[in-house]
C-alpha cells in the first residue's frame, strides 16, 4: 500500500471514530475497520434470564422408557418429574415426552448436549419449553406412574361376560357362518380334509319325547 493510500485509510478511520463518538447513541457495538458508520450487532436472546426447567424430548426410541430415561438423565442433575406420552387405548409410547429438572442451568446443559444425540438409530430432539408455553395439565396423573394394561384379563372378562339368549344365538350363528366359509375354501382348494364338528357352544333342539299309552 502506497503512502497516499495509507493516508486515505487513516482519514477514513479518523472520520468514522469522530462520527461514532458524536452520534446520539454512543454505545454502538461494532465499528468497521474500513471506516463508515458504526452499527449494532443483532440482538440475541439473553439465555441467563431463561428460567425454563422443562424439556421436550422427541423421537424417543423403543425400549427407552420412564425407568431408562430417568437413569440416563439423572447424571446431569436432579429430576423433579418425567413423563412419556402414551396411547390411552393400548398404552404404547408415542415416542415423545417431557422431563423437568430442578435447575434451569442443568436444563440448558441437557438441551445443548443431548439435542441430535444418536440413540438406537434415533436422533433425540431436545428443546427447552418456555414457562408460558407449558400446558397446565402437563403433569396430571404423573405421580401414579405408568401401569401396563393386562390384556389377558381384559380379553378373559370380555369372553366370560354373561349373555342373553339372543346374544348367545347371534354368537353361535357367527361361529357357524365362519365355519361354513372355511369348509368351502378347503373344498375349493381340492384338499381332502374332514372338518371336525363344532361342539360345546350349540344348543341342540330339544328331542321330542313320545309318551306311550299306559
Q: What digits encode the pLDDT tens for the residues 45-97?
A: 545 446 899 999 999 999 999 999 999 999 999 999 999 999 887 888 999 99
Ramachandran sector of residue 35 (left: φ over 0; alpha: ψ -120 to 50; beta: rest): left
The torsion angles phi and psi of 35, rounded to 5 degrees, stand at 95, 180
CB 114 within 8 A of CB 75: no
For domain 47-144, the CATH superfamily is RRM (RNA recognition motif) domain (3.30.70.330)
Q: How many residues does the chain have?
A: 214
Domain boundaries, the chain: 47-144, 162-203
Distance CA(99)–CA(127), nearest Å, equals: 10
93-101, strands of its sheet edge to edge: 79-86, 93-101, 54-58, 125-129
CB 146 within 8 A of CB 93: no
Distance CA(84)–CA(142), nearest Å, equals: 9
Residue 126 pLDDT class (50, 70, 90 cuts): very high
Q: What is the pLDDT of residue 44?
A: 45
- 56-83 burial, b if ≥16 CB within 10 A, otherwise e? ebeebeeebebeebeeebeebbeeeebb
Q: What is the mean pLDDT of the chain?
A: 78
Q: What digits encode the pLDDT tens for the residues 143-178?
A: 777 777 788 888 899 888 888 999 889 988 998 999
CB 206 within 8 A of CB 193: no
Percentage of the chain surpassing pLDDT 70?
A: 69
Q: What is the pLDDT of residue 143?
A: 77
Which of these ranges, 32-36, 140-144, 169-173, 209-213, has the smallest mean pLDDT? 209-213
Distance CA(209)–CA(182), nearest Å, equals: 35
Distance CA(136)–CA(31), nearest Å, equals: 47
Residue 197 pLDDT class (50, 70, 90 cuts): confident
Percentage of the chain surpassing pLDDT 90?
A: 40
Amino acid at each position: 500500500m502506497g503512502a497516499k493510500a495509507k493516508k486515505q485509510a487513516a482519514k477514513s478511520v479518523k472520520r468514522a471514530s469522530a462520527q461514532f463518538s458524536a452520534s446520539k447513541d454512543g454505545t454502538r457495538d461494532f465499528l468497521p475497520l474500513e471506516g463508515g458508520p458504526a452499527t449494532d450487532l443483532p440482538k440475541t436472546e439473553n439465555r441467563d434470564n431463561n428460567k425454563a426447567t422443562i424439556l421436550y424430548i422427541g423421537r424417543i426410541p423403543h425400549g427407552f422408557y420412564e425407568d431408562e430415561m430417568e437413569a440416563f438423565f439423572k447424571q446431569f442433575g436432579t429430576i423433579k418429574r418425567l413423563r412419556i406420552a402414551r396411547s390411552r387405548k393400548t398404552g404404547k409410547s408415542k415416542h415423545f415426552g417431557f422431563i423437568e429438572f430442578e435447575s434451569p442451568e442443568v436444563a440448558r446443559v441437557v438441551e445443548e448436549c443431548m439435542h441430535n444425540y444418536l440413540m438406537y438409530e434415533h436422533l433425540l430432539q431436545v428443546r427447552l419449553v418456555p414457562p408460558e408455553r407449558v400446558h397446565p395439565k402437563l403433569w396430571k396423573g404423573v405421580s401414579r406412574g405408568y401401569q401396563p394394561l393386562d390384556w389377558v384379563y381384559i380379553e378373559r372378562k370380555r369372553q366370560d361376560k354373561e349373555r342373553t339368549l339372543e346374544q348367545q344365538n347371534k354368537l353361535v350363528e357367527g361361529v357357524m357362518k365362519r365355519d361354513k366359509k372355511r369348509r368351502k375354501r378347503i373344498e375349493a382348494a381340492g384338499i381332502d380334509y374332514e372338518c371336525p364338528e363344532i361342539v360345546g357352544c350349540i344348543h341342540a333342539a330339544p328331542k321330542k319325547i313320545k309318551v306311550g299309552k299306559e
